[in-house]
A = this chain, B = another copy of it.
Amino acid sequence: MTETATFVKDTATVRNGVDTTTMFATLDAIKAQPEIAKFQFRARNRWLSGAYNRSTIKDFYAACGEDTSRTEAFVLDAGEPAILLGTDTGPNPAEYLLHALAACVTTSLVYSAAARGVRLTSVESTLEGDLDVQGALGINSEDYRNGYEQIRMTIRISGDAPAEKLREVVRRGTDRSVVFDSIANGVPIAVDVIAE
């Protein structure tokens, strides 16, 4: 919980909890040396039982090398509610997808606001994803896809700028979000199987 400390630090160069001096220095460094912009993120997942599985997330590649800043892995438990045959050991994967989207758009718009000199007071979002499981369950694959049919995201934002400026900040957030683009436009997924 670094909330209080971060807000206290919110002086001229730190806006919305983002150190804009470091932000602009990072942008300049990438412009000067574009190869440092290559990232590789990773996750490892292990099945436990039924719908219960667990990911660990720690290392990643950035700035031409392996990042070593994390001393411990993040641990994420997934599950399914009873109606989907699980024991509710965690959010289900489709819910995690909505969280990934919400988190990415939020961070993107907060950074965008910081870069534009807009101080935000609050950002809250609610997400809904529609799904007919006849697709994924193989009952009716002609009429229903396996994935979400549509995702709706409502973003409520306030800050020290006119409504139109805040809307522009949200637009930049969605336009620049890694996860928004990945889900809206799709990503090729290569699968390799080792069967033992």
Q: Mask for A37-60, Cβ within 8 A of B = 1, else 0?
A: 111111111111111110101001
Residues of B within 8 A of A60 (CB): 81, 95
Count this chain's copies in the assembly: 2
Taken together as a complex, chains A and B put the C-alpha atoms of A39 and B170 apart, in Å, by: 28
Q: Are A183 and B183 in contact (CB under 8 A)?
A: yes
Residues of B within 8 A of A132 (CB): 37-39
Taken together as a complex, chains A and B put the C-alpha atoms of A194 and B125 apart, in Å, by: 10
Residue A11 at the B interface, CB < 8 A? no
Taken together as a complex, chains A and B put the C-alpha atoms of A174 and B188 apart, in Å, by: 13
Taken together as a complex, chains A and B put the C-alpha atoms of A63 and B131 apart, in Å, by: 12
Q: Are B103 and A45 in contact (CB under 8 A)?
A: yes
Q: How far is the CB of A153 from chain B (nearest CB, A)?
A: 5
Taken together as a complex, chains A and B put the C-alpha atoms of A137 and B36 apart, in Å, by: 13
Residues of B within 8 A of A76 (CB): 76, 91, 96, 99, 103
Residues of B within 8 A of A196 (CB): 156-158, 163, 166
Q: Are B124 and A46 in contact (CB under 8 A)?
A: yes
Taken together as a complex, chains A and B put the C-alpha atoms of A129 and B42 apart, in Å, by: 6
Residues of B within 8 A of A3 (CB): 48-49, 52
Q: Are A78 and B52 in contact (CB under 8 A)?
A: no
Max chain B CB contacts within 10 Å: which of A52, A91, A105? A91
Residues of B within 8 A of A125 (CB): 44-45
Q: Which residue of B lies closest to A185 (CB)?
A: B186
Q: Are B151 and A49 in contact (CB under 8 A)?
A: no
6 closest Cβ contacts across the A-B interface?
A17-B50, A17-B49, A93-B104, A147-B181, A147-B182, A186-B186
A43-B98, A47-B123, A151-B190 known; 15 other A-B pairs, CB under 8 Å? A19-B85, A30-B133, A45-B99, A67-B83, A76-B76, A76-B103, A78-B99, A97-B100, A105-B191, A136-B181, A138-B176, A150-B188, A151-B188, A154-B192, A184-B188
